A and B are shown apart, each in its own frame.
Chain A
């Protein structure tokens, strides 16, 4: 076992692990590392370290905004637009004769394609009481549904057992879509889960909320029972210090 552990830990270079957290490996490669991480604390720590850096960088530049400036590009844009129309007319004649249809195949993704795990090595994963944070920062419906699928499966599993689970979903950046009351399917699912399970908490980053409200010039209507935390990064640091496991989806 220990030999296998040593092999696992040293088998993967830091470049390889970076590729894992950045989702650059193919589905098999991602799944392989995910599998090893579950049993190898040392490798898990290495991934955790890289993931933390990735998160720190992302969150530290989240509030950077474009300063107000004069719209100096409008005139040049207008002149370019006129040229474009001339070119467009020419193309129209040619284009009218030649139909061109394209479609992009939708590729289904599974969790192994994009789940990024940074398990806190201090967290007692199989203990009687598991505290887990699911972090979402994307508005892609597919990923939002993965968050909910994972949450639902865990909540169901733990509800049936004697073990205790505390689950927290943290949304920031584009992940705000998950907790914004917009009538989407995942909205309803999240509300149902919250009504059904008292051990599910939903948090949203206050910094993201302020930024989006400022950009849109209106208040964002959040789902009921959504808690606003000062910032996502503070919440993550706090939870990790408290021994929570962390999964970014």
Chain B
């Protein structure tokens, strides 16, 4: 580690940490789809980052380091919620109903709903790649799984989303505006 960097990085660290907060929140939200939980996860991650700042050897790796902490916080949270389940294969309960689904016309809601319905492991990989643009190798490091698993989870996630979202698009649901339907 560069000692000069260590001395000079405190303000940089704080600044970068603050700047990273929205990005951490966005990814945390994509994992849990609940504003309060996402906020708590980010807050936990930020506190842990500050407490363990000394373990960050290279400031250039701060992004992936922070997301690793966030991923660990998320894992801890899931363990508290479902201690006996394999969290990577855990599908969150989808309490959507056809009536509610019909009311949802906003493309964002539809996509977020589809992402939320993915198994946790797939959702986590998908958001790190799509929202944060991490390389597969970085995601493997953050989530602590082999790179091959990153690729297969990402593939399964995108395939599931394609089946759901592109089918909707063909049905013209993913378009703007109000649709009038005849209900029989």
Contacts and interface: CB of A to CB of B under 8 A. Distances in A.
B107 A64 contact: no
A22 B54 contact: no
B14 A77 contact: yes
Contacts of A237: 107, 169, 174-176
A230 B135 contact: no
Interface in A21-57: 22, 24, 49-50, 52-54, 56-57
Contacts of B7: 88, 91-92, 95
Contact of B151 (A19, A88, A92): A19
How extensive is the interface on chain A, given as a class?
35 or more
Contact of A60 (B112, B151, B159, B176): B112
* Centre residue among A19, A64, A241 by max chain B CB count within 10 A: A64
Interface in B110-152: 111-112, 115, 126-127, 129-131, 135-136, 151-152
B54 A15 contact: no
A76 interface: yes
B101 interface: no
B136 A84 contact: no
Contacts of A53: 158, 161-162, 165-166
Interface string A160-200: 00000000000000000000000000000000000000000
Contact of A100 (B4, B35, B126): B4
Chain A contact residues: helix, strand, loop or mixed: helix
A60 B108 contact: yes
B131 A58 contact: yes
A234 interface: yes
B30 to A, nearest CB: 6
B63 to A, nearest CB: 15
A49 B162 contact: yes
Contacts of B42: 66
Contact of B47 (A15, A18, A52, A76): A76
A98 B5 CA distance: 13
B16 to A, nearest CB: 13
29 contacts: A18-B154, A18-B155, A19-B151, A22-B136, A50-B158, A52-B162, A52-B166, A56-B107, A56-B111, A56-B165, A57-B111, A57-B131, A59-B108, A60-B112, A60-B115, A61-B127, A69-B43, A72-B47, A73-B50, A80-B50, A84-B53, A88-B6, A88-B7, A88-B10, A94-B3, A95-B4, A234-B107, A237-B175, A238-B176
Top 8 A-B residue pairs of the complex, sorted by shortest distance between their CB atoms:
A95-B3, A60-B111, A88-B7, A66-B25, A57-B130, A91-B3, A60-B108, A64-B26
